């Protein structure tokens, strides 16, 4: 019984350490909100994410190939964008309401989709107000 308890304790500790290590691999160094037109006003006004949300987004979001991304993603006229460091390299990033996102630099472009299946609502900038708006459409 003691061996089982010890095993469980060590397992939980190691699982926590590995998540902490993964979280440390991403650090946001710049973040800006853009809204390029007068469309999508309600959604864009309500879309709010912070640097912690950005870091978590790129931990939880599903990486998609360009065709899957094109088929699944919705791009609004607003987004957050900036720069981050992942595993010692600097990348530009963009995240849109509804969960579409990009991570890119001069060498790569990665497409991401975050939805309620793989990401918490807070990462998506979802609030009761814009969820209600979407359901009334």
Half-sphere exposure of 38 (CA within 13 A, CB side): 0
- Quickly state the pLDDT bin for 121 (edges 50, 70, 90): confident
Residue-level pLDDT at 43: 87
- How much is the pLDDT for 118? 87
Q: Is 58 exposed, middle or buried (0-12, 13-18, 19+ CB in 10 A)?
A: buried
Q: Report whether 130 contacts 46 (CB < 8 A).
A: yes
What integer is the mean pLDDT of 61-81? 93
In the predicted structure, residue 111 carries a pLDDT above the cut 80: yes
Distance from C-alpha of 111 to C-alpha of 102, rounded to nearest angstrom: 5
- Quote the longest CA-to-CA distance of the chain: 64
pLDDT tens across 18-65, in order? Answer: 444 444 589 999 999 999 888 888 889 889 999 999 999 999 999 999
Question: Any alpha helices (H) in the chain, and if so which ranges?
Answer: 2-24, 41-46, 51-60, 66-72, 128-136
């Amino acid at each position: 019984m003691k061996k089982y308890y010890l095993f469980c304790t060590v397992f939980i500790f190691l699982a926590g350490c590995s998540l902490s290590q993964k979280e440390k691999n991403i650090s946001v160094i710049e973040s800006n909100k853009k809204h390029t037109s007068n469309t999508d006003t309600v959604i864009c006004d309500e879309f709010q994410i912070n640097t912690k949300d950005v870091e978590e987004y790129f931990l939880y979001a599903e990486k998609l190939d360009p065709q899957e991304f094109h088929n699944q993603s919705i791009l609004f006229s607003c987004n957050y964008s900036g720069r981050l460091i992942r595993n010692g390299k600097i990348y530009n990033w963009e995240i849109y309401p509804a969960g579409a996102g990009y991570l890119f630099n001069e060498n790569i472009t990665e497409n991401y989709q975050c939805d309620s299946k793989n990401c918490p609502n807070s990462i998506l900038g979802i609030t009761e107000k814009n969820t209600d708006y979407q359901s009334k459409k």
